[in-house]
Amino acid sequence: MKRFLMVFAVIIFVLNGYCQTIKFLNIPMGTPISEVINSLTKKGFEYYSEMSNKDNFADTYLFSGRFAGENANISVFVTPKSHKMYSVTVRFTDYTYYYDGSGISKELFESKYKMIKEGVGSKYNVLTEPFESSTDSCPYITVWSTEKWRIAVSGFNMSGNNLVLLVQYDDLVLSEESQKEANEDF
Rg of the chain (C-alpha set): 18
What span, in angstroms and rounded, lies between the C-alpha atoms of 117 and 131? 11
Instruction: Name the amino acid, one letter, at 120.
Output: V
Strand partners, 57: none
Residues 6+ apart with CB under 8 A from 166: 89, 90, 91, 92, 152, 153, 154, 155, 156
Spatial distance between the Cα atoms of 136 and 12, rounded to a whole number of angstroms: 39
Average pLDDT over residues 161-166: 90
pLDDT of residue 20: 61
Q: Of 108, 82, 92, 103, give the one whose Cα is nearest residue 29.
A: 82
User: What pTM does this model have?
Assistant: 0.84
Query: For the chain, how many structural domains are there in total?
Result: 1
7: pLDDT strictly greater than 70? no
CA gap 161, 38 in Å, rounded: 36
Lowest mean pLDDT among 71-80, 97-106, 168-177: 97-106
Inform me whether the pLDDT recorded for 4 exceeds 80.
no
Beta-carbon contacts of residue 65 (< 8 Å; ≥ 6 apart): 40, 43, 44, 45, 46, 71, 72, 74
Host domain of residue 168: 2-183
Mean pLDDT of 23-40: 97
Per-residue pLDDT at 102? 81
65 φψ region: left (φ > 0), alpha (ψ -120 to 50), beta (else): left
Whether pLDDT at 8 is above 70: no
Least confident stretch, 34-38, 76-80, 98-102 = 98-102
Give 127's pLDDT tier (boundaries 50, 70, 90). Answer: low
Average pLDDT of span 141-157: 93
Average pLDDT of the chain is: 86
Q: Which helix (H) or strand (E) holds 176?
A: helix 172-183
Percent of the chain topping pLDDT 90: 61
Express each pLDDT in 45-57 by its tens digit.
999 999 988 877 7
